[in-house]
Structure 1
Amino acid sequence: MKFKKEQLIELSHPLLADQECFPYHPYPTGYTSASHWYIETLLMMDSHIGTHIEIPYHRNENGLDCKDWPLEKLIGEATVINVLGKKPNEPITLSDVKKYEGILQEEDMIFLYTGYDQYFHTPDWQPYPYIAEDALAWLLSFHPKALGTDASGIELPGIDTQELPGEPNHVNCFKNGTAIIESLTNLGAIENCRPTVFVLIPMAEGMDAFPSRIVAIKGL
């Protein structure tokens, strides 16, 4: 496989110490001198920092963790659904997503392009546009490998909380065998081109989610 660097699109935010919305603290533990640099780093982090993938163990004690999530579900073609202009706590509706009928294909990765990546690492990272339940059901009928958003979440809002307790959107995705990816970026760069996407995470036992380096390759 050969490609030009212009075909590579970064879909992940950088991880910045003490600037994430969840704990992320790297601690150097090595030693240095005037002539020698050597460190190792002890890292304390939340599994949901940065651009990250969430899988069934997040909501099901018997669900697959990052160690056992199938490799073939981390690589695939993607369709970007443009829902720019949605307001915080406004639903992404069935009519919004049905505009892509005839474009979506079975087992695509489906990415919701809200434009809310501009609020990442700011106090306005929440709330966000969410997916209405009937819109989600229609998208899941395509059995997507992953459902992603450049906002910080997909969940229905609660009355007194940012997200509805019980997280039905999460649960329905996981029951369908669909991973969730939150806080993507640069989706405008891959709109209308069906790129091949790689979600790079370690095979980490006991992890319900993991910050991810997600790369799209256009024009393969």
Structure 2
Amino acid sequence: MKLIDISQRLNNSTPVWPGDTPFSFSLNWSKSETGSVNVGNVRFSAHTGTHIDAPFHFDDNGRKVAELPLENFFGRALVVEISGKESIGAEELDGLDFKGATKLLIRTGSWMDKSVFPDEITYLRENIGPLLKQKGIKLIGVDVPSVDPLDSKELPAHHSLQRNGIGILEGIDLDGVEEKIYELASFPLSIEGADGCPVRAVLIDR
């Protein structure tokens, strides 16, 4: 069995959405001060690095992170590469063999330098939601900060995925990951009232 970490490393240089809360970690207390322990302090946006979006992120009546079922974040995941595209919709996915997978992870390759926030990304089109529901997919993951265009206010892909019962995992790192079926574990913290949460996303290759 092999474990493959597909989450971004978080540090004080991690890029965030322009204007959002920057990630920071510091020691509030040091072992030299307390005589026994180091105690750290972390501050970050709910959408830092590799993270999930709860429906409440884009729908005032949507479920929040702590209300989402755990099975949303664990299961058989198909990793595919669909690169060189402005956008991805039902047409690009219709021929895939999902082989019983309930998660789909897409390597777009459109966020080349993850040390800086991108200017453009490959985004998902609105017609992707119904196809994924038909195929039995419960979660989609992408290697970019959003499933919609970065300047979108209407967020059609977010809403399409929500209407079709599909969870959203953003900012995964699939560089060098073979295209095939894995088990995915990508659990968020149980934060009451949260609209999203960073996750440690891991592929299990058995």
Query: Normalising TM by the smaller chain, what interval?
Result: 0.7 to 0.9
Structure 1 range deviating more: 127-136 or 198-207: 127-136
Give the structure 1 partner of residue 104 of structure 2: 110
Give the structure 2 partner of residue 58 of structure 1: 57
Change (3 A) 1:187 1:178: farther
For residues 134 and 66 of structure 1, the distance between their equivalents in structure 2, rounded to whole angstroms, comes to 25
Q: Residue type of the partner of 2:182?
A: P
For normalisation by structure 1, the TM-score amounts to 0.82
Tell me, yes or no, if the aligned pair for 2:128 and 2:157 is still in contact at 8 Å.
Answer: no
Instruction: Answer yes or no: is 1:83 the counterpart of 2:70.
Output: no
For residues 199 and 148 of structure 1, the distance between their equivalents in structure 2, rounded to whole angstroms, comes to 10
Q: Which runs of 5+ in 2 are unaligned?
A: none
Count of paired positions: 202
**Which portions of structure 1, spanning 4 or more consecutive aligned residues, are displaced by more than 3 angstroms?**
34-37
Give the structure 2 partner of residue 215 of structure 1: 202
Give the structure 2 partner of residue 184 of structure 1: 172
Q: Deviations over 1:113-156 (max 9, x none)?
A: 11235321225x2310112222343223334221110122211x
Note the 1:24-35 alignment, pairs <5 A: 24-33=23-32
Note the 1:1-220 alignment, pairs <5 A: 3=1, 7-21=2-16, 22=20, 23-33=22-32, 36=35, 38-86=37-85, 90-100=86-96, 103-105=97-99, 108-123=102-117, 125-155=118-148, 157=149, 162-186=150-174, 188-192=176-180, 194-219=181-206
For residues 73 and 89 of structure 2, the distance between their equivalents in structure 1, rounded to whole angstroms, comes to 26
Tell me, yes or no, if the aligned pair for 1:116 and 1:128 is still in contact at 8 Å.
Answer: yes
Tell me, yes or no, if the aligned pair for 1:117 and 1:184 is still in contact at 8 Å.
Answer: no
Q: Which runs of 5+ in 1 are unaligned?
A: none
Change (3 A) 1:129 1:47: same
For normalisation by structure 2, the TM-score amounts to 0.87
For residues 107 and 16 of structure 1, the distance between their equivalents in structure 2, rounded to whole angstroms, comes to 33
For residues 106 and 121 of structure 1, the distance between their equivalents in structure 2, rounded to whole angstroms, comes to 35
> What is the RMSD computed on CA atoms of the aligned residues?
2.2
Q: Residue type of the partner of 1:147?
A: I
- CA shift for structure 1 position 32: 4.0
Q: Residue type of the partner of 1:201?
A: P
